[in-house]
Each structure stands twice: as C-alpha cells, then as structure tokens.
Structure 1
Amino acid sequence: MKSKATDTYQEYARKIGDRKVLYEVVTKKFNIQVALYPGSHIDIAPSIVIPTVTYMDNFKGAIRFFNDIDEIEEYIEQNKEYLDKSEISFLGQDYTTPFDIKEVDLIISQYAGFVGQATKQALKTGGILLCNDSHGDASLAKLDEDYEFIGIVNSQKEIETEHLEDYFVLPKEKSIDRKLVEQKMKGLKYKKNAENYLFRKV
C-alpha cells in the first residue's frame, strides 16, 4: 500500500522530471557513497542510487514530508539499486546556517541558490559538486579556486569531459562578473551551456 509520503514524492517527480538517471551517472562515474543535498525540497531520488544521503531544506513542505521518514525509508529500501542499507537523514534548516555532518563525496545543487559556496566545507577534498547554473551556482564555482571544473552532464544524461574550455565563455570575451551573478542570482548567457556541471574540490 502506498504511503502518503510516497504519493507526494511520486507526484513531485512527475512534475519536475525524475532526476534518478542524473544522480546515477554521477554516482557510477565517481563511486559516490555519501551525499549532501541542500535545498533538496522532497527530491529523494539520490537515495535510490546513493547509500547515505543527508537532505537539507527549511521549506515547511519539505519538513512536513520528511516527518514521515519511516515511510520514506521503506520506499527507498524497496526501490534502491545497491545492496547496502540506505541511510537517510534530514536537516530542517537553511543551508547557509551552521551545520555539522561528516564530509561527503558529493554535494547536489539543483535550483536552490549558491549551494556550492555555502556548503563546500562539508565536501571532502576530491569530492564532487553537481550543480546547474539556474541561480548562478555553477558560475560561482567556476570562479572559485577551491573547485576544478571537470565535466558536464548533457541533456542525454551523459558525462562529457572534453572541450570544457567552450563553457563559461561570454560574448565579446567578457569576464564573468561575480558581483552581478550574486546580485541577480541567475546564470549568465554564455555561448555554450550545459544542463549540469561537475566540479571537483581541490
């Protein structure tokens, strides 16, 4: 029998599109075991392919959703694609406020602001930031010396690691204006864009 939490998630996944394949290709490529998902809302797809995931969101709907953690864990156990026991935790807070968790292999940033900047202390050296540039998070990561731009995930959910110099290039060879990105909280109009970007913490 489907739980209320399961119904809520499945309806949400139909609305935003199932991101499981996105998380799956990144997990397989980089052998991800532990992830942090700030601004997760109720997107629990990472737990289907990653054994240990901490979700973080201060949105009331997300807090209410994760109150049914037992039902969520049962759903993940029934649908997971790994043998290990799944471990799910939730922090009902703004990701820009202090938090204490063990270092993770992956930080997920999807339409939630400057996640890669605010939470990078939780990412281990060599760990991966998966982000889009909807709010400029990828642009800021590209400017950040703590990150190395190592690839993109294209619209077919394939990882590309070649010709990366073609990305983050503005018309007329303009340089990226960090203050403008921070002010507008929006990605810039580059000559070539990707759906998602991959950075390694150095």
Structure 2
Amino acid sequence: MNIIKEFKMYQASIGDRTNLYKNVVDAFQIKSALYPGSHIDIMPSFVISDVTYIDSFKGTIAFFKEMNSIYGFIEKNKVFDGDFKLNFIGGDYRERFEIEKVDLLISQFAGFIGQETKRYLKKGGILLCNDSHGDATLAYCDEDYEFVGVVNPSNEIETQNLNSYFQFARKRPIDIQKVKETMKGPKYKESAENYLFKKMC
C-alpha cells in the first residue's frame, strides 16, 4: 500500500490531531518533540520542526523506511517555514537511546511513556498524555511533574480549575500499584481527553 494512503486511512480512523499538537506548540513554545509508541502518527511533524519517533511495531518500521515519501508529504503539509528534521528509531521505547532532550514528550495510547522516557524531557518541558493506560495518573502522582493543564474536546488548552481532575466521586487515594498492574486509568469524577504536565527537574 502507498504509505501516504496508509497514513490518511490511519488519520481518518484516529482523527486529525494536528490542531491538538499545534495548540500545545503555540502555548509552550515547543521546538522539539519525542513521540514514543507513535505508530504512524506523523502529525506532530506538521507543526514541529524537530521530531523523533520511536516504535517497535513491524508495520511502523516498514512505514518509516519510506522516508523520501514521508519527507515530501510533510513538506506539503507543514504549517511552519524553514527546514525540518524527522528521526525514527525502530525499537522498544523502554530501551535507552542517545537522544537529545526535547521540549515535548507525546504519549498517546502507548503505555507509561511519561515514566519510561522522561529522561529525554528537558526541565520545564511538557508531557502531553491521555490516561487510557494510566499515564496521566502516574504523572499526576509523580513529583517530577506538575499538572498544568488539560485539553478539551475542541483541542483548547485549559489551565484553570484543575483541582477537579484526578478526583473520585467518593474521596479515596489513587492506587498507583493497581494502575501499573492493570495499565488502565481509573474512572474519575471529571476527566479530559488529554492532560499537560511540566517537568520540574
């Protein structure tokens, strides 16, 4: 299959995340990003000039072998001026790689990205994650991160009234061990599609 057609089918199935990434980039002056467990979601490269993708899935590795086609497609769809850099690492993100620290760490449905790869995130950098596998919950309970915002269904960033998130209807502590074992985010009284955390150290 043509990889551009493959990407467009994938984009149609997951939704267009371009505005999600763009709004985060604009809000936090993002220049570089790391996307572990990316599959073939190359939408960050439409809005960020320096992105590294990591994935061990054979289909993803095959996709990124067509780098000339990917570069040409991004060149046509990027919303910024100037050159861009795209790197792909075909491996398990839990391994250690030689990666320069980045401004943004992206976690979308791929496990505990915020924990396993936070060494690559700069101090003051941003973790963008959902809680499908509990990644946002682990970041919320991690002293290395500060909870700074949510992204609403319109992809708008909200930074006020965050105290209502990560709270149960009946007040009780978060069971971190259970989250790690089940790889599933708890059901909270209020939730968001994506969460934003700042790395504090």
Give TM-score, length-normalised by structure 1.
0.98
Ranges in structure 2 where 5+ consecutive residues have no aligned partner: none
Q: Given the alignment, which residue of 134, 138, 141 partners 2:139?
A: 141
Q: Distance in 1 between matches of 2:35 and 2:82?
A: 20
Match of 1:191 in 2: 189
Tell me by how many angstroms 1:84 deviates.
2.2
Q: Distance in 1 between matches of 2:77 and 2:110?
A: 26
Structure 1 residue ranges (4+ consecutive) displaced by more than 2 angstroms after TM superposition: none
Amino acid of the structure 2 residue aligned with 1:4: N
Tell me by how many angstroms 1:100 deviates.
1.2
Q: Distance in 2 between matches of 1:81 and 1:156?
A: 19
Q: Given the alignment, which residue of 172, 175, 189 partners 1:174?
A: 172
Q: Distance in 2 between matches of 1:15 and 1:150?
A: 29
Q: Distance in 1 between matches of 2:74 and 2:83?
A: 10
Match of 2:11 in 1: 13
Q: What pairs up with 1:1-202 in 2 under 5 angstroms?
A: 4-202=2-200
Q: Distance in 1 between matches of 2:82 and 2:176?
A: 41
Count of matched residue positions in the alignment of Structure 1 and Structure 2: 200
The DSSP-based 3-state class of the residue aligned with 1:36 is strand
Cα-to-partner distance string for 1:137-167 (whole Å, 9 max, x where unaligned): 0000000000000000001110000110000
- RMSD of aligned alpha carbons: 0.8
Ranges in structure 1 where 5+ consecutive residues have no aligned partner: none
Using the aligned pairs only, state the percent identity: 54
